[in-house]
Structure 1
Amino acid sequence: MRRLTRRILLTLSLLLAVDVAVVATVAYLLTPWLSPVRDAVAAALPVGSGVAWWVAVVSPALVAFVWAQLRYTRAQTLAEADAREVSREEYPDLHDRVQRLCQQADMTMPTLAVAERDVPNSFAVGTLGSATVVVSAGLLATLDGDELDAVLAHELMHVSNRDATVMTLANFLPALTNGEYGPLDDLLPGTRGSRLLVAAVGLAVAYVLSARFLDAPFGSVSFTVGFLVVFGLTVVLGGVLLGVFTAPVVVLARSLSRAREFAADRSAAKLTGNPSALVGALQTLDADATPTPETDKRRAYDGVRGLCFLPYGFEDSGEDEFHVETRSHPPTADRIERLGEVAGDL
C-alpha cells in the first residue's frame, strides 16, 4: 500500500507539473493580447512585472484549471455512462450495502449513481472534496450478496486510496486532445449559430487588441494579414504543444491504472474478509463480457473504460467508436491469481 501511495503522489505531482506547463504555455501564447492586463497587474503590485503576472494571474488560473478539470471530467464521465445520482429511496439495498462497507472502512460515504446500461460494470470518479461510485443497472441485475459487496468494496477502495481523484484528473487532457471533450461548446449555450456568433465576437476583440503589437495601420490589409498569421500560428502551436503535454499523461494513467486495480482488489478482499467473493465476481463479469473490439490506435486511453472495474466499459457491442488499450487494465487471470495470495494471507 505504501508503494501505491508513493506512485499516486508521484503521478499527481507529474500531472500538476503538466498542468503548470499547459497554463504557462497558454499564458505565454496569449501574452500579446493580454498585455493590457499584464501592465495593469504590474502597476498594481509592488513587484516585478513577471512575478506580478505569475502571482496575480497565472497561479490563480492554475488552481481554477485543476478545479475545472475535476468538475468537468466528473460531469462528462457520468454523462457518457448515462449515469445519474440516485437516492436511498430509489435504491435502498445499494445504499445500505455501501453505507455498511464505508462504516467498516471508516470512510465518508460517497455519492452513488446508477448507469442505465445493461452491461455489468462499475467505476469511481473523484474531485477534491467528494467522490461518486457508479454501478450499472446490469451489474445490480447480475450480482448480489457477497459478490456485489466485493465489487462495491473495490470501488470504495479507489475512493479511499485517492486514486479515483488522480485518474479523474488524468482523463481530461487525453479526452480533450482526442476531441472527446469540448469544454467551450459545453459552456456556450444555444445553437451552433449562437456559438459561431460568440466566436466571431471573440475574434473581433482579439483583432482590436492586436493593435498593441502589430506594426501596421489598424484595419489595413497588412494589419489583417499579420493578425491572421499570428492568430493562426498561436492556434497551431497551442494544438501541437497540447498533444506533447498529453503524451506523458497517457503513460502515467496507464501505469497507475494497473497498479491501482491490484491494490483495490487486495484492499477490498481484506475489507470484506472474503477474497473468493471478488474472484467469483471477476469470473462472472469477465465471462459475460462482450469481446473488446480491436484497439483503435487513435484512442490511446478512454476515460470511462480506463476507470471501470473491467475494461470493456458500458457498451453492449462493438459499435462504440472509443476503444481502450488493454494495457490500462491488468488481465483478469492475474487479478484472480493475486487474490489467491490474499486468501492465503487471510
Structure 2
Amino acid sequence: MRRLTRRILLTLSLLLAVDVAVVATAAYLLTPWLSPARDAVAAALPVGAGVAWWVAVVVPALVAFVWAQLRYTRAQTLSDADAREVTRDEFPDLYDRVQRLSQQADVAMPTLAVADSPVPNSFAVGTFGSATVVVSEGLLATLDGDELDAVLAHELMHVSNRDATVMTLANFLPALTNGEYGPLDDSLPGARGSRLLAGVVGVGVAYVLSARFLSAPFGSVAFTAGFLVVFGLTVVVGGILLGVFTAPVVVLARSLSRAREYTADRSAAKLTGKPSALVGALQTLDADAAPTPATDKRRAYDGVSGLCFLPYGFDESGGDEFHLETRSHPPTAERIERLGDLLGDR
C-alpha cells in the first residue's frame, strides 16, 4: 500500500508538472496576441512584467486547467458510458450496500451512477473533492450478495486510494490528443454551424490582434499572409508540443495501472473478509465478457475501458476502432492468482 501511495503521489506530481508545461507553453505561444492583456497586468501590479503575468494570469489559468480537466473528464466519461446519477429511491439495495461498505472503509459516500448497458462492469472516477462509482445494469443483473459487495468494495478502494482521481486527471491529455474528447464540441452541442462560427470568430479576433505585432498595413495582402504564417506555425507547434507532453502522461498512467488494480483487489478482499467472493465475481464476469476484439483490450484504453473493473468496458461488440494505449489493465487470470495467494493466508 505504501508503495502504491508513493507511486500515486509521484504520478500526480508529474501530471501537474506536465500541466504547468502545457499552460506555460500555451501562454508563450499566445503571447503575441495576448500582449495587450499582459501590458495591462504589468501596469496594474507593482512587480516586474514577467512576474505579474505569471501571478495574475498563468497560475490562475493552471488552476482552472486542472479543475476543468477533472470536471470535464468525469462528465465525458459518464457520458461515454451512458451513465446517470441515481438516488436511493431508485436503487435502494445498491445504495445500502455502498453506504455500508463506505462506512466500513471509512470513505465518504460517493455519488452513485448506473450505466445503461447489459455488459456487466463498473468503474470509479473522481475529483479532488468527490467521487462517483458507476455500475452497469448488466452488473446488477449478473451479481448479487457477496460477489456484488466485492466489486463495489474494489471500486471504493480506488476512491480511498485516490487513484481514481489521478487516473481521471491522467485521462484528459491523451484523450484530447487522440481526438476522443472535444471540449468545444461539448460546449456547443448539436450545432456544427455554431462550432464553425465560434472558430471563425476566434480566428477573426486573432487577426485583429495581430495588428499589435505585424508591421504591414492592416488588411493588406502582406498583413494577411503574415498572419496566416504566424497563426499556422502557432497551431502546428502547439499540436506537436501537446503530443510531446502527452507521451509522459501515457507512460505514467501505464506504470500505475496494474499496481492500482492489484491493490484495490487485495484491499477489497480484506474489507469484505471474503476473498473468494471477489474471485467468484472475476470468474463470472470474465466468462460473460464480450467476444475478443481485434485489438488487445487488456492494453487498449478509450477513456472508460481502462478504468473498468474488467477491461472490456461497456461495449457488447468489443469493437476494433483505434485507441491510444494509456493503460495496461492486468489480465484477469493474474488477478485471480494473486487473490488465491491471499486465500492461502486465511
What TM-score results when the alignment is normalised by the length of structure 2?
0.96
1:41-93: per-residue Cα shift (whole Å, max 9, x none)? Answer: 11111111111111110000000000000000000000000000011011000
CA contact (8 A) 1:85 1:114 kept: yes
> Mean alpha-carbon deviation: is it higher for 323-332 or for 224-233?
323-332
* 1:76-225 aligned within 5 A: 76-188=76-188, 191-225=191-225
C-alpha displacement at 1:300, in angstroms?
5.7
Cα 1:89/1:124, change in 2 over 3 Å:
same
More displaced 10-residue stretch of structure 1: 38-47 or 61-70: 38-47
Counterpart Cα distance in 2 of 1:83 and 1:320: 22
Question: In structure 2, do the counterparts of structure 1 residues 190 and 334 end up closer, same or farther at CA, with 3 Å as the change threshold?
Answer: closer
Give the Cα separation in 2 of the matches to 1:300 and 1:230.
37
Taking the aligned partners of 2:57 and 2:247, their CA distance within structure 1 comes to: 27
Q: Measure how far apart 1:331 and its partner are.
A: 1.2
Aligned to 2:15: 15
- Report the CA distance shift for 1:324/1:243 in structure 2 as closer, same or farther (over 3 A): closer
Tell whether the 8 Å contact from 1:118 to 1:138 is kept in structure 2 after alignment. Answer: yes
CA contact (8 A) 1:119 1:314 kept: yes
Q: Sort the Cα spacing of 1:324 and 1:315 in 2 relative to 1 into closer, same or farther, 3 A.
A: farther
Query: Runs (4+) of structure 1 moved beyond 4 Å?
Result: 322-327
Contact 2:154 2:267 in 1 (8 A): yes
Percent of pairs identical after alignment?
87
Deviation at 1:344, TM superposition (A): 2.9
Q: Is the 8 A contact 2:124 2:158 kept in 1?
A: yes
* C-alpha distance 92-58 of structure 1, shift in aligned 2 (>3 A): same
Query: What are the superposed Cα offsets for residues 118-156 of structure 1, whole Å, 9 maximum, x if unpaired?
Result: 100000000111000000000000111100000000000
Preserved contact between residue 305 and residue 324 of structure 1 (Cα < 8 Å): no
How many residues were matched structurally? Answer: 345
How far apart are residue 188 of structure 1 and its match? Answer: 2.9
2:127 & 2:316 partners in 1: Cα distance?
A: 29
In 1, the alpha carbon distance for the partners of 2:95 and 2:301 equals 31
Deviations 1:234-272 (A, max 9, x none): 001111111111111111111111110000000000000
Closer, same or farther in 2 for the Cα pair 1:144/1:323, shift >3 Å?
farther
Q: Is 312-321 or 246-255 further displaced after alignment? A: 312-321
TM-score (norm 1): 0.96
Instruction: Report the Cα distance in structure 2 between the residues aligned to 1:22 and 1:323, rounded to whole angstroms.
Output: 23
What's the counterpart of residue 331 of structure 2? 331
